[in-house]
Structures are given as C-alpha cells and as structure tokens.
Amino acid sequence: MFEYRLIAQCPETGARAGELITPHGVIETPVFMPVGTQATVKAMTPPELEEIGAQIILGNTYHLYMRPGADIVEEAGGLHKFMQWHHPILTDSGGFQVFSLSELRKITDEGVEFRSHLDGSKHFMRPEDSMDIQQKLGSDIAMAFDECVVWPTTEEYSRAAMERTISWAGRCKEHHSRVDQALFGIVQGSMFEAQRIECIKRLEDISFPGYGIGGLSVGESHEDMYRILDALCPEMPVNKPRYLMGVGHPANLIEGVARGIDMFDCVLPTRNGRNGGVLTSFGKLNLKNRGFARDFTPIDPSCGCYTCRNFTRAYIRHLYTAGEILAARLCSWHNLYFLVNLMKDARRAIIEGRYPSFRRDFFSKYNEGPIRP
C-alpha cells in the first residue's frame, strides 16, 4: 500500500522528483504539506485546499488526543472522514508538542509525563500510546514518537535524546500494527553531524519505509540547517522518502530540495496569513502596513491564486483594518498556494533537468527583497 518511486534526480545538486503511493492517492514530490493541526487547515475548506493543489495535509496527534479525543475520531470513521479530506494525511507523533507546549514535563525512558495546555490535567504518553492514537486517527503516514531538542543544547544532552529517540522508534515499530498506515522514523542529533549520521544508520537497522528529519528549524541558523542536511542526506537511503519537519520558509524549501528533501510542512503560511504576512516571489510583505492603503495591485503580480486574481493589496489591508475574517482567509489562501506551487515548479524543473537554473532564478528575484509602494 505504500511505495516510493524515484522519477528523476539532479546530478548537480541531488534534488529529487518522486512519487509516494499511499492508500489515499499518489503524492508527487517534492511536496509542501499544509498543516491541519486540529483536523482543519486554519481558514481553509477541503475543496479550497484541493483548488490550490494540496496533495497531502497534516494532523497533530497531541492536539487531537486532547480534543476531541482519538476515540471520537475513530468512531467518526477516521480522520479522513471526520474532516472530509479524502486525500493522504500524515500525523505527527505528538512529541514536539509534548516538549514545547507543556512547561511542566518529566521525561523518562518509558515516556513523557506532561500537563495539558488546555486545562492543566496530567497525562503520560509512551511511544505505544502515540501509536495507538495515530492508528485510531487512521492517517496514511504516522510518525514515531521522538524527543525533539531545541537549540542551543549540549552534545551530551543531544546524544541522550537521540538514544531515547532510537529506543522509542523500536518500540513504536514493534507496537504498530495497522497495515494501511506507513510508520516513519525520525532522525535526531541536533547540530552534531556525527550524531545525525549515527542516528539514521541505527534507524535503518530497525527499518522504516521513510524518515523524518526532526530538530531543525528550532532556533539554529539557516547555515547550520544546511550543514546538517549536507552531512545527513547522502547517508539516507535513496529509495525512501525524506521529510524535513516543520520547515516552511521559501528559501529553506528551495535549499532543502537541492539537498534531496522530498517533503516539507510548516504552520508559517496560515499563521503569517492571519497576521497580514504574505509570501511573494520577491520576498515577504506585511499588508497591514499603511503604505498599502492605495496599492491597487495584487499581492504578487506573477501569482495565479484566487486571491491574486481577484483582490488588491489595498482591499486586503482594508479588511485587516476593519477586523474582517476574510483578510486572514485570503492571505492564508495565497501563502498556501505559493508554497504548494513552488514545490510543483521545483519538481517540474528537476524532471526537465534544469533545477540549478531554477534555483538561481528563484534567488535572483527573492533576494531583491519585497517591493514596497
């Protein structure tokens, strides 16, 4: 039910175009995956996501466990039916949220004790619990429970977290039983190249059909992120998908693809969109700025999304000023379209053998910075 096919690869950069076969459809990679944390991509309906070309979206194990509960989603027929999204879904393990949202947590080799960010109630999550929740959710791709370490950290703490992540990955695989759901391992090791390489080799000994790269975009510089990818990606199996978790800046996507990454996700396009921040081919804009009050041009004249085809910067700024919900919807729509289709364009460039020039052209425009009125 799950297979990765490598279609084309750039000999100069290592950029890959492939296909991921899942029970709910084929995913063409590289791909950007909109985040639907609580069984919804904020401000977007499923038909709208289909219109922008989204192929796969994410659900969040921690949040769905907290509310409405995995049992309710299972009773509804699973996450696809519950949210009326009939294409592939990936669920994260809940590990990142357990570590980032709960101020009071206790980590042991058995699992993590934490308090709910909603009501302060105490919970304990083991790798086996994460698997049970994700199997009830019924996603196409589940992620192994891991310990995500923010930067900066020490080499000693990073190694301890890596060892725990590998141990938990083995427990996840042993407990996981749903045959129509692929289970990905997660590579940890912070900014330490040797730890990253060791981690992927030991995870491969356990054997997973795909791998997430966790613990990046957690406070490090872009240069450090690229350094880790440069060291890690050549060590990763060629015939399995590579998922760079939580990364959504356009430049990071282009550089990640150049290093052989297949899958990306991030809350950035909807979070920024709710606050007036928009992505364009020439940089970022904040449409709340007063200078856009009489700017009757699209967000990005080269963009073909619904927002850019129909509305101006001046109108969207007016919506924000007036406190209208439509502002957040239109900007989220545009940002998601921008990233989803940036990856579609990258894929086309890889297949046509011109990814290096595509990459150069992107940065020649993007590095100019935003055009302001």
**DSSP states along 66-77:** HTT-HHHHHHTT
The question of whether 265 is a catalytic residue gets the answer yes
One-letter amino acid for residue 21 of the chain: I
Cα-to-chain-centroid distance, residue 147: 17
Q: How far apart are CA 142 and CA 119, in angstroms?
A: 27
Side-chain half-sphere of 185: how many Cα atoms within 13 Å? 28
- Please, which residues bridge with residue 57 across strands? 89
Give yes or no for a contact between 173 and 130, defined as CB atoms under 8 angstroms apart: no
The question of whether 224 is a catalytic residue gets the answer no
Q: Which one of 140, 265, 295, 300 is the catalytic residue?
A: 265
One-letter amino acid for residue 322 of the chain: A
Q: How far apart are CA 235 and CA 171, in angstroms?
A: 23
**Dihedral sign from CA coordinates of 170, 171, 172, 176:** positive
Q: How far apart are CA 79 and CA 59, in angstroms?
A: 8
Phi, psi of 254 (to 5 degrees): -60, -45
- Taking 3-state DSSP, the helix, strand and coil percentages for the chain, each rounded to the nearest 5, stand at 45, 20, 40
The residue assigned the tokens 């980590």 is: 107
Phi-psi region of 133 (alpha: psi -120 to 50; beta: other; left: phi over 0): alpha
Sheet holding 25-29, edge to edge: 3-9, 16-22, 25-29
Angle at 126 (CA atoms; ends 120, 129), nearest 5 degrees: 90
CB neighbours of residue 69 within 10 Å: 13
What does DSSP say about strands 141-143 and 122-125: parallel, antiparallel, or unpaired? Answer: unpaired
Residues annotated catalytic, as ranges: 92, 265
